Structure 1
């Protein structure tokens, strides 16, 4: 099978589909809770500029180092001497952390799908108790949500095993549908916007201890949530080995970022004008609740239907991306060799099955709590797993500009060096802001470090094949 089949539009759809997934549906609530309107706007501005520098880094690296494909984490091995133990360990550990972070990403998308499905099937939010064992309570809604999420996960697994072209086309159709639908949402919300719902631009926020949070701290908190909205901007880069033209990777990354940014900023801010702060923070389905205030229950159901189509496409994109990461890393020799196995359609069969099995385990979080709580928890533990590879890619690009490797024009070298430095600074800033909470830092670090348990298997394989 010829792998180089993904053109500009399919790659762009993967970027937009993966970025505009769970975040666009749950972010209005998360942002309202984290920051005042001024803090939200500043967080979007900082994140938009920061992610733009990352997108430029990803696009440049895909062209300058086409042999290194599979995601931003793969450059970790290039920061050390080629063939050294440090190079192998860095490549393996960064791939592990990024891979597990991606799994958390598609679990967040799937749990949001269940949230919007509850608009049509309210039983998914039922508090009826089915079983009690000590402090553990099994509710009907949580159990049914878990079952729905599991069916979606394994249905997607079956679609992906049928081939990249089939899955890519389905993702493209779903992405095009959601872009059109969300553009209509923005137009309607503009006419129904109520400034009184937003409240003071610099309204105070309090933390769990009841202490008042200043504007800068609000921006830091909101920046974590807004960054989650842009996770997936590297999707075209991950599929670089399957791209028809390397130039399309950079173009698709920038185009996908611009489309997603317009949708995110418009929807997150306008939704604040459709619901009061109290309603927004308490909402499990903020977009549906917001549009229902304008168009009534029918409008809410139409948007929920759009959300389901959107999330189906995002689930396909995220599952594909999660499997592609260890697959490409294994082919480069820095991950467990079994992950490089393919089926007759050229799909990474072992990587797909194992990724989805781990996703199934994470879905257990929906059994014991609300969907919004599960979404927030998953975002927290995945934060560091994503940010470290972003920092790695930025540092590697900076290294290329400093050494001059792959550069023939000094002006281009200086310009890209500045962009790489800004991308690295942005990544560091969000890492510091996102891991200030000890629980988030420990859980995120645990995701990355847990891979060390499997590293001896890679060493054993390499010794056997010398």
Structure 2
């Protein structure tokens, strides 16, 4: 399931239709390319220069490819675990851990939806100063209206049509491709050379690369959806090929947008651009029309993706409730098959986060970083589950030595990369994420009570105490000011 791009369900081939390698590759690309790419220039320029950016994309590309392979192999080895990413955490490490993975993945979808409204109001803020950079009271009010307007639309049964999907795909790809081509045309070798090694504020190369990791996680969200398309392939071997081709294409697009920007302006100026920073870079290259061009494409793209992800955020809760991993009230549907309670809870969480952006130093960066952080625990647990299967050799009966060795390398690298992402996220953001996990346990308690079961096993109770203690520390840290958002 992809947050960064249009939801995977909107792109999948209908019914049992089998698709070609090219179409399968396009599905993979569509699931990953979304609104976050429009923010890449300033996010990277604030942390590193050309060298650091190149290293960062190599690290992120290799790590995310390992995660893609993990999800692909888990889909093949455990086809019965089809309830979502959290199912792997539950199967490998228990129900409470699985609940955390489900809750975190759902929260990342809800928080990610907030980035859409912040980005839209920030974009419009170029012409309506009262909207600021998506962080003013008017911007919060406009975002709130948008949230609940889409809630009402989806509540009435309005779903994303194939035609909307096509418009969204074209709207988000054309501005990106045109941006890269025009930036290459206006490329200034001297500016590129001056941006080569980074700047004094960026620290050493390791710190520079670390500083870019969360945004790379955000833009690559959807890599876990590649294996979802396997049932649509004409040939089974096309799944792996489409994963590599699609992923390589997306990596090339993201890296190109980042690198060409260094040839337009000094990195200090790129870092100060308002979001979407791609618009500011293109305006510097070709004039004001470039900014308008990117803005129009972005707004169409974001609105289409938001409609898809309003449905997807609710779907995560709905599926978990159907599998008895969330309270049964979240499985309630309307006559139009809309999971109304899951939709209401998802929209409410997005509303809370949208209000919190008003108190953050940078509304867009806060929402983007929290989206990335909330996905890290589900991703890490999935990688560790793949490693557990390989170590115990469950499902590996009669496997060739080359398969055993290859899967071990993939699982180890994916686990190490995801653990590095947790470190790169920073102590503060990881602590803040626990402020969500602790109260979310109320849903776990409701689920157990409905099933007439003991709320916690001794091990689960210990885990709950630890999580709650961390959440308390995070609240104290925010109040005291030594954790900033």
The residue number in structure 2 matching 1:278 is 268
Residues 1:59 and 2:59 are matched in the alignment: no
**Aligned residues, how many?**
433
The residue number in structure 1 matching 2:319 is 328
After TM superposition, give the deviation of residue 16 of structure 1 in Å.
4.4
Residues 1:35 and 2:60 are matched in the alignment: no
Q: Deviations over 1:291-329 (max 9, x none)?
A: 112321122211110111121222223323322222222
The residue number in structure 1 matching 2:459 is none
User: CA–CA distance in 1 between the matches of 2:409 and 2:118?
Assistant: 39
After TM superposition, give the deviation of residue 13 of structure 1 in Å.
6.9
> In 1, are the aligned partners of 2:24 and 2:233 still within 8 Å (CA)?
no
After TM superposition, give the deviation of residue 63 of structure 1 in Å.
3.0
> In 1, are the aligned partners of 2:24 and 2:229 still within 8 Å (CA)?
no
Secondary structure of the 1:283 match is coil
User: CA–CA distance in 2 between the matches of 1:197 and 1:369?
Assistant: 32
Call closer, same or farther: CA 1:182–1:356 in 2, change over 3 Å. same
Residues 1:231 and 2:221 are matched in the alignment: yes
User: CA–CA distance in 2 between the matches of 1:256 and 1:353?
Assistant: 34
User: CA–CA distance in 1 between the matches of 2:409 and 2:56?
Assistant: 22
The residue number in structure 2 matching 1:107 is 114
User: CA–CA distance in 2 between the matches of 1:412 and 1:168?
Assistant: 39
User: CA–CA distance in 1 between the matches of 2:161 and 2:129?
Assistant: 30
Residues 1:444 and 2:433 are matched in the alignment: yes
CA RMSD of aligned residues (A): 3.2
Call closer, same or farther: CA 1:200–1:116 in 2, change over 3 Å. closer
Residues 1:378 and 2:372 are matched in the alignment: no
Deviates more, 1:273-282 or 1:12-21: 12-21
Residues 1:201 and 2:214 are matched in the alignment: no
Q: Name segments (4+ residues, structure 1) moved above 4 Å.
A: 6-18, 158-165, 243-256
After TM superposition, give the deviation of residue 462 of structure 1 in Å.
1.1
After TM superposition, give the deviation of residue 174 of structure 1 in Å.
0.1
User: CA–CA distance in 2 between the matches of 1:13 and 1:155?
Assistant: 31
Call closer, same or farther: CA 1:250–1:312 in 2, change over 3 Å. farther
Residues 1:398 and 2:387 are matched in the alignment: yes
Q: Deviations over 1:25-79 (max 9, x none)?
A: 2221111111222111101110011001111111222233233234322211111
User: CA–CA distance in 2 between the matches of 1:123 and 1:10?
Assistant: 43
> In 2, are the aligned partners of 1:319 and 1:352 still within 8 Å (CA)?
yes
Q: Please list, as runs of the form range in 1=range in 2, the aligned pairs for 1:43-192 lying within 5 A after superposition.
A: 43-80=56-93, 87-125=94-132, 142-161=136-155, 166-167=160-161, 169-192=163-186
> In 2, are the aligned partners of 1:383 and 1:444 still within 8 Å (CA)?
no
User: CA–CA distance in 1 between the matches of 2:124 and 2:225?
Assistant: 26
The residue number in structure 1 matching 2:399 is 409
After TM superposition, give the deviation of residue 351 of structure 1 in Å.
1.5
Q: 1:388 aligns with which of 377, 384, 389?
A: 377
User: CA–CA distance in 1 between the matches of 2:158 and 2:246?
Assistant: 19
> In 2, are the aligned partners of 1:274 and 1:290 still within 8 Å (CA)?
yes
**Structure 1 alignment gaps of length 5 or more:** 81-86, 127-139, 207-211
After TM superposition, give the deviation of residue 251 of structure 1 in Å.
6.8
> In 1, are the aligned partners of 2:74 and 2:386 still within 8 Å (CA)?
yes
After TM superposition, give the deviation of residue 182 of structure 1 in Å.
1.2
> In 2, are the aligned partners of 1:224 and 1:433 still within 8 Å (CA)?
yes
After TM superposition, give the deviation of residue 23 of structure 1 in Å.
1.9
User: CA–CA distance in 2 between the matches of 1:240 and 1:333?
Assistant: 26
- TM-score, length of structure 2 as denominator length: 0.80
User: CA–CA distance in 2 between the matches of 1:240 and 1:71?
Assistant: 14
Answer 1 or 2: higher relative contact order, Cα 8 Å, separation at least 6. 1
**Structure 2 alignment gaps of length 5 or more:** 1-11, 455-485
The residue number in structure 1 matching 2:410 is 419
User: CA–CA distance in 2 between the matches of 1:114 and 1:388?
Assistant: 30
> In 1, are the aligned partners of 2:89 and 2:98 still within 8 Å (CA)?
yes
Deviates more, 1:185-194 or 1:68-77: 68-77
> In 2, are the aligned partners of 1:53 and 1:419 still within 8 Å (CA)?
yes
User: CA–CA distance in 1 between the matches of 2:412 and 2:157?
Assistant: 38
Deviates more, 1:41-50 or 1:61-70: 61-70
Q: Deviations over 1:70-111 (max 9, x none)?
A: 43222111114xxxxxx2211212211221122111111221
> In 2, are the aligned partners of 1:394 and 1:420 still within 8 Å (CA)?
yes
Q: Deviations over 1:120-147 (max 9, x none)?
A: 4344229xxxxxxxxxxxxx98222123
- TM-score, length of structure 1 as denominator length: 0.83
Q: Deviations over 1:147-174 (max 9, x none)?
A: 3222332343345456696355523430
